[in-house]
Chains A and B, each alone.
Chain A
Amino acid sequence: MLGMAEERNAAFTELYRRYEKRVWSYARISLQNDQRAKDATQDTFLRILKTGEKGATSVEHFAAYIMRIVRNIVINDQQRKRHDTVDIDTVEIPSAAAATYEQQEINTILETAMQLLPDDYRDAFSMQTYGGMSYQDIADTQQVPLSTVRNRVVRAKAKLREILSAYFTPEDIR
């Protein structure tokens, strides 16, 4: 039994090592809040652990699978939050650990710009850019045709470029 537990722990550790940044980045950019992103990341990995303990799941594409989980958690969190009043303590200036001040500024602008995107576009864009998912994986996750995902991601980026042009001249972001 001890051997099995050790194996499980080792597997979990490896999975965590591989997907921590991806899950965190997606949660963070989607929720715009460090604490809620931490909770979402934690819930995601706990759910993975519980699913593994049940031993009934066979996952073909783990990256897409884990991103689907974190996406569901993020959506639930966002829906719950819409009904809540805003706690002033939870409002924070978007920040990214270990980022320079200049980079934080850029991140803030990017995050703000992302809020102006339609939900579907933003979701597809976040999964592609911050979750590192392929278009096909996003299509599977969103349960829409691949062509729709292509359109959403490309339109999102085009829109972001349009928004960001107010902040960056082409020369600035070259």
Chain B
Amino acid sequence: MRPIDLMDALGDLPEDYIARELTYQPPKKNSIPFRAVIAAAACLLLTAGLVRGVWMKRQPIDTVPPQETLPTTETLPTEPVTTDTTAVQTSESGSEAETTASESASETAFSATAAWTETIETVTLPVQSIPALTQPASSTEATHPAATAVTTVQTDPTESPTESSITMLTTVKTGDAAENETPAEDETESPAEGIAETTAYIPTDPTEPIDITDPPEPTEPSYSLPGNLTPDSSGRDPLDGFTATECFGRTVLTVTPESDDPTDFSLGYTCTDRRYFQESMATDVAGGIWNTAYTYLDRQNGTSITVRLYCRSRFRLEYRTETAQYWRLDRPDGCIYLHCDAGGYVLYDDGNYVMQIEYNDPQADYQGFLEHFVPKN
């Protein structure tokens, strides 16, 4: 069979086959303005995400310093404390006052952004968090030498917190009261912290607040890095001589030696070896990135090694024949690495005869390339 026979056979194809190809419209690339708009939108989203992330991380520290929220935690004098009777309330009204206080505190703390205000408005504080406020009036009237006064700021949601309409609610917590409060012992020991924490949490469950003061760092998608390659049966590291580089956004391996170490690009073979490798290729997708692995089968001893795609290896074109190109890499140890590309085409030529191998077709089934080392002279 001659090539011209194939041409003739193509010419005898049915008309609809020809018409189909004549009218075929290749998929168009997006226009530059369109791509620019998409890129700008992506950048905007990314920036917004970053700003939000940074803000979230800083927010609890900046807006809710315990010292500012509860500026006065003063020790009462030894003499009996006369509490403000106007502040003494029943258990029910105390709960309401607590809720109001916490909501006001939340609103004050998060008044910087509406988004966070919305979040905080849904918070319902557990009643147990400040047990002193739930105590009957009689319990708050008791005096104790070690009693401490905790001052909280109650604000009217409808008014500015800086105005004089702020009412001071003073709650006296006695030692007895603290002893009687078995649940949430930590909170009773330091109610000031308990209140401060309510502004730092976004509770999804009233009984189990979630700490967001230190959100987890976003994790980057894991790619199939070259380090995951499996050594061959002889125990050699298949990565010898191959260095991971970035190539068009991909992590690939290049065979260009980075050091003067003669073994850098040896693949375990010496200069005097003359090895032939049958090359095959498998491609898979990981994280949206095509990964290509080459398997080199050493036909002399049956061993095989697997390496990842190498891209833009700095090979020079040594010579060409009608059916093949021979790409040469001068190894640091004085040997020549010769890659015989029997495909009969130039892979890439940017003027420096840089060879580029980049396959994206998962169905590609290249076989039959020969790789071999030849000693110099």
The answer on A and B forming one complex is no
